[in-house]
Amino acid sequence: QSALTQPASVSGSPGQSITISCTGTSSDVGGYNYVSWYQQHPGKAPKLMIYDVSNRPSGVSNRFSGSKSGNTASLTISGLQAEDEADYYCSSYTSSSLYVVFGGGTKLTVL
Amino acid sequence: EVQLVESGGGLVQPGGSLRLSCAASGFTFSSYSMNWVRQAPGKGLEWVSYISSSSSTIYYADSVKGRFTISRDNAKNSLYLQMNSLRAEDTAVYYCATLAGHYGMDVWGQGTTVTVSS
């Protein structure tokens, strides 16, 4: 049961845009439009930022956007702000023996 | 207020057992499937188990299959995780979560810490 593959870290300056990738297989990311992205600050529970590949829950800034191409999903954060510094996790429904699989997480540093 | 509150975590010896509980409020608990997700210290999120709204469908991660049992009591708005034969690698913060963003109801608890150590 392999986790989805994310870069360990990304960084950007305030005002810039960054993109975090999430690579899976045709059994998860590539096969279903059920990719979600979570933001987690230290010591806090994860917060949903994107669901179903590109949808934002109510209250989430439109600076956050999601997309997918083949087996790779992406989270883009535009106009970086200091409060965006956090860990980000992708997740996907999977047709394997699991129900949901998470990525390994990406630490975003705002320089 | 929509809320999930976990309890039951603690320190347990390897091979021991623990039962986690998750109390739901502020939404129709019986309408939503539920999950347990854990996070080992300094590590990423790991999905542990899923239970459908009526308890008719249950899934487990391979890492806990045969040792953990998920259940729910819709009359008490509660979710449970019975953990047996605990190992050091089960040490983590355990979250209950709906994972229902598609339905506008993605809710996570604050987590409860399980430490398996002698």
Give the pLDDT mean for B65-78.
Answer: 98
B105 or A68, greater pLDDT: A68
* Residues A92, A35 contacting (CB under 8 angstroms): yes
> Average pLDDT of A3-18?
96
CB B9 within 8 A of CB B20: yes
User: Which DSSP state fits B5?
Assistant: E
CA distance B64 to B50: 12
> What gap in Å lies between CA B58 and CA A25, rounded to an integer?
23
Among A32, A99, A101, A107, most B C-beta atoms within 10 A, so best to mutate, is: A99
Contact B101 A105 (CB under 8 A): no
Does the pLDDT at position B111 exceed 90? Answer: yes
Q: Look at residue B26 in the predicted model and tell me its pLDDT.
A: 96
Residue A24 contacts B where some CB pair is shorter than 8 Å: no
Three-state secondary structure call for residue B29: helix
Q: How many CB atoms lie within 10 A of CB B34?
A: 25
Distance of CA B44 to the CA centre of its chain: 16
Asked if the Cβ–Cβ distance from B45 to A101 is below 8 Å, we say: no
Q: Give pLDDT tens digits for A72-104.
A: 999 999 999 999 999 999 999 998 877 899 999
Answer yes or no: do B45 and A91 touch at CB < 8 A: yes
Condensed to tens digits (0 to 9), the pLDDT of residues B7-56 reads 999 999 999 999 999 999 999 999 999 999 999 999 999 999 999 999 99
**Matching residue, tokens 């990304």:** A10
How far does the CA of residue A94 sit from the closest CA of chain B (Å)?
Answer: 12
With 70 as the cut, is the pLDDT of residue A68 above it?
A: yes
Using alpha carbons, select from B114, B115, B111 the residue that is nearest to residue B5: B111
In this prediction, residue B109 carries a pLDDT of 97
Partner residue opposite B62 with nearest CB, options A38, A48, A97 = A97
Q: Report the percentage of chain A scoring pLDDT > 90.
A: 93
Mean pLDDT over B101-116 rounds to 94
Distance from CA of A63 to the nearest CA of B (A): 18
pLDDT at A1: 53
How high does pLDDT run on average in chain B? 97
How far is residue B74 from each of residues A87, A104, B22, B102, measured CA to CA in Å? Answer: 33, 33, 12, 21
Residue of B nearest to A56 (CA): B101
When pLDDT is averaged across residues A17-45 and rounded to a whole number, the result is: 96
Predicted local distance difference test score (pLDDT) of residue B101: 87
CA angle A77, B45, B86 (to 5 degrees): 175
pLDDT at residue A65 in the model: 98
* Contact with chain A for residue B101, Cβ under 8 A: yes
